[in-house]
Structure 1
């Protein structure tokens, strides 16, 4: 985005906030917390993001009203994720700092919710430039921490380098562009619904690509998640069907 002109300072302030809350801080909290907590707990935390977005959007984003129908729909979707992952998500690992690690995962979910609000409220600017600036600032903030903790990388195998390039281009770079586009167009509440799909697709890909066993709760969980999404977005669906 432009670095000069009347709105430039405000735009870059939002870029900094988005870089911190949508990238650098939640990545740091999750990467540390998931070394200690049960993996399912982190999945449930990410599914709670829409519930955290709802009151924030109600207060800060015009037109994003926290209706009872939306709240019930989000609660049903969250219940579906919990059914999918199972009670082991809340089981204790007995590791040191587990309580603090769980707080870190919850904090990461809060960061994503706050980042979505900042993305929606950012002044009008080219979306590609905005996504690029956010990732650049996040990298500048995060790289010194990584170098301090891990040190300078040594010999990197070709397969690891290819995986790194893939992760940087698609799930991070392209995903950031799509995230900005959807939030600016449809709002943070709508984008929050994506978090319900993540554990479902994780299970499906695990079954198809890694030959993991198919959990019997998958169908029930998907039913709850789809019902929650449909209920929370009933107004938009009704307008679509009327067309």
Structure 2
């Protein structure tokens, strides 16, 4: 079995994906200055879904969707979009975009635990256990030990983001169980369509009919995180997966926070506590332990 080697082209694809997703945290926070979290998620999923359906129509590549497949799309939409997008958008109202991106990096840590519980071929080894342990210490440090003992709005927002990353991990297992074999385009379009259907009543009940009379900066944020950071990024993600392999793709997790931190500082004047950077370093160490290929970039046979 050959581990894909990173070429200049694949490095460029990895960096582009990290830049796109790193910028999404700023785009979401910008939109939240004018619209509510649920409305932002509705715009994100529905605009992205429409875009992907147009792509399928243009390619004459519309799949036949059974009721069983819709169940798969519904579960994936709930776990990979509705729950994490809503929790993280709400959390960003009260914590920095850079810190949100750091906590988001714990998705890979939770993913290992969920996979070990669900799949027989993903048992926890000593190395995985050590990596998960170091990663969790990083999460605690990034949040701040004192925030674990108090439940103010800031600490609650941080826990909401962490809950969102756990939902991402559950989505990974659900996707493997229910959506295996689907193309990236079909899986993404179906998932986002189901998410939009679920978000519509939630938004209408809690935030009302969305306004289209928004500031230019708000629309720029909405269109960025819907079309670029969601629709296009999902397709690019699967392209990078094919080019770089699953192990190398973990690098994106480590490249996203620096982008989000720099953008948050430059555009919104955010400053993170030193503990956030230390926590991110520990998270990165935990990921490196989980997959040594992150620090050993030679071809493996």
Shorter-chain TM-score: what band? 0.7 to 0.9
Cα gap change, 1:83/1:117 in structure 2, threshold over 3 Å: closer, same or farther? same
Residue aligning to 2:167? 111
Q: Per the alignment, in what secondary structure is the counterpart of residue 171 of structure 2?
A: helix
Q: Residues 1-243 of structure 1: matches in 2 within 5 Å? A: 2-3=63-64, 8-32=66-90, 46-61=104-119, 63-84=121-142, 86-87=144-145, 90=148, 92=150, 94=152, 104-121=160-177, 122-154=179-211, 155-179=213-237, 195=253, 197-210=255-268, 212-213=270-271, 220-221=278-279, 223-234=281-292, 240-242=298-300
- Greater alpha carbon shift after TM alignment, 149-158 vs 194-203: 194-203
Higher mean alpha-carbon deviation, 134-143 vs 153-162, is at 153-162
Structure 2 CA distance for partners of 1:211 and 1:32, relative to 1, 3 Å: closer
Residue ranges of structure 1 left out of the alignment (5+ in a row): none
Q: Distance in 1 between matches of 2:197 and 2:172?
A: 21
State how far apart, in whole Å, the 2-side matches of 1:29 and 1:219 are. Answer: 22
In the other structure, the counterpart of 2:18 is none
Structure 2 contact 115–173 (Cα < 8 Å) conserved? yes
Query: How many residues are paired up?
Result: 236
Bigger Cα displacement from structure 2, 233-242 vs 171-180: 233-242
Question: 1:17 deviation in Å?
Answer: 0.8
Structure 2 unaligned regions, length at least 5: 1-61
Q: Give the CA deviation at 1:176.
A: 3.0
Per the TM alignment, residue 112 of structure 1 is displaced from its structure 2 partner at its CA by 1.3
Whole-Å separation in 2 of the counterparts to 1:235 and 1:211? 35
Is the CA contact 2:135–2:283 (under 8 Å) kept in the aligned structure 1?
yes
Measure the CA separation in 2 of the matches of 1:65 and 1:241.
25
Cα shift readout 1:204-229 (whole Å, capped 9, x = no counterpart): 33345555557656775554344322
Residues 132-179 of structure 1, C-alpha deviations (whole Å, 9 max, x = no match): 111111011102211222222332223322221111012222233345
Q: Give the aligned CA root-mean-square deviation in angstroms.
A: 4.0
Q: Which has the higher contact order (CA 8 A, sep 6+)?
A: 2
C-alpha deviation, 1:76, in angstroms? 2.2
Structure 1 residue 109: deviation in Å?
A: 2.9
Does 109-118 or 54-63 show the bigger shift? 54-63
Q: 1:214 to 1:236 in 2, by over 3 A?
A: closer
- Per the normalisation by structure 2, the TM-score is 0.60
